[in-house]
Amino acid sequence: MLQNVLPKAAQPPKRGTAITPVSVKFTQDDTLVVESLARTVTLPSEVDALLAELKAQGVLKSAVVTVWVPTQSVLLTQVSVPGKRKADWQAALPYALEESLSQPIEQFHIVSFARDTHAGNTVFCAVVERQKMLTWQAGLNAAGLEHAQLVPDCFALDWPFNPTNNPANLKSTDQAWLVYTTNQSTLHTVRTGFYSGFACDHAWFEQIRHLPEHQNKTLQAVEPTFTSASVLSALSLTKGDFKAQSVWGAGVKRLRWAGGLVALMLVTSMLATHWQTQRLAAQADVYQTQTHALFKQLFPDVKRVVNVRAQTNSRLKDQPTNRTQTSPMQMMRALEITVLKNPEVTLKKIALQPVKNGQRMSVQVSAANAAALQTLVSVSEAADVLTPGTANMSNKSNMANITFSLELKNVTATLAEGVLYVDAN
């Protein structure tokens, strides 16, 4: 069946041999076979070898444009569908066919070929089970024929009238039926119009041809012939959800989700990095503001703050060593011994305010538990805090007169907050 122009050699052609179009088809049991004038290649290994040879020569796409499917598995029918716009009547087409189908419409793949507005808005269409289409498509993918069009094999019988040239030839009710019968005379493939046809065994064919509406129909025995790819494209079943695609297009489609996921991850990472940078910048601004405020409290005579670290070091060097009154810098050094060197305690805010007979530094601190904060007081009382410039520990006259006290503000199972008061007289 379907004896197109095929390689005459029984074996797959050698590399470099010119390849003409071949006839590839699915049988009734969904087996992919290749027919030649010499023989029919049915063994999967031989079919794969022939297709691999065509692919190696770079002519697979031009040699196999169409893959025929058995017309017995396809319902070629026509139905009147109202609607002026194409989108409207195509949306209504499944509902117009629903009553004539024995299964739910969702189980079928429907392809509309053409619509005759001169004959009651008749739509010529094909109906095939979606599961059958999936099986055929899987066979094409396995054979590397993703580009090929699936066309019912009754359309291999060349119809003399093309409705694209004359729309009046759409129905052609007076035209003879084109009939191809296998050598065993068991299967009749019939083309009844440009968009219509059927296939059945001999017993059914005899009953159909003797129906009253077909008794005067002329039967013309023909052989399948090669039809141009442009004509067969209009008769293809591979449309809509099953649209044929190139190997490159299939690869791009498979990579589309992966590429989209990578892009999403990249954008998410960039947004997270940007948010983290903004958060750290905001924290740095807060710390800088608090540092400047504390520097102003410690050194109110400074008119302009340019470099806090350098200006603080300069002020520390200028601090006298024989002062009887404790300076704010002595209090800061005491704070450094008790708080800044304790990894369990977090310093949150420092404030300095004058009190009766001296100064008080309020330090907001937090730790994982209250015991860690209580330790600050005991460590402070045990430490000898010297005034700047003191040479040895025995010089009691230069000892800083600093006392520490702790006020707990908030204590939970995982957090303790309080205020450490550093008083200097």
Question: How much is the pLDDT for 34?
Answer: 81
Sign of the torsion angle spanned by Cα atoms 2, 8, 12, 15: negative
* Residue 247 pLDDT: 44
CB 37 within 8 A of CB 5: no
DSSP string, 74-85: -EEEEEE---SS
Q: At the topology level of CATH, where does 68-245 sit?
A: Nucleotidyltransferase; domain 5 (3.30.420)
The domain spans of the chain are 68-245, 247-318, 320-424
Query: What is the predicted pLDDT for the residue at 383?
Result: 56
What is the side-by-side strand order in the sheet with 122-129? 75-80, 122-129, 108-116
| Structural tokens at position 6 | 């095929």
320-424: same fold as 68-245? no
pLDDT tens for the chain, 425 residues long, are 333 323 333 333 343 344 445 788 898 888 888 875 455 666 677 777 878 787 787 777 777 788 899 999 999 999 989 888 888 898 889 888 888 888 888 999 999 988 887 777 889 999 999 999 999 999 888 888 888 889 999 988 888 766 655 544 555 445 688 898 876 768 899 998 889 899 998 888 888 888 888 877 888 888 887 666 667 788 889 888 887 654 445 455 567 778 888 888 999 999 999 999 998 888 888 888 888 888 888 788 888 888 888 888 887 777 655 445 566 777 777 777 777 777 888 888 888 887 777 788 888 889 888 888 888 777 766 655 444 433 333 334 444 477 888 888 888 888 899 998 888 76
CB of 205 closer than 8 Å to CB of 181: no
Query: How far, in Å, are 191, 224, 276, 283, 366 from residue 279 at the CA level?
Result: 74, 75, 5, 6, 21
191 CB burial (10 A radius; 0-12, 13-18, 19+): buried
Please give the angle made by the CA atoms of 305, 306 and 310, to the nearest 5 degrees: 100
The domain made up of 320-424 is a member of CATH 3.30.1360.100: yes
Angle at 376 between CA 374 and CA 379, to 5 degrees: 115
Instruction: Look at residue 381 in the predicted model and tell me its pLDDT.
Output: 63
Q: Residues in the chain, how many? A: 425
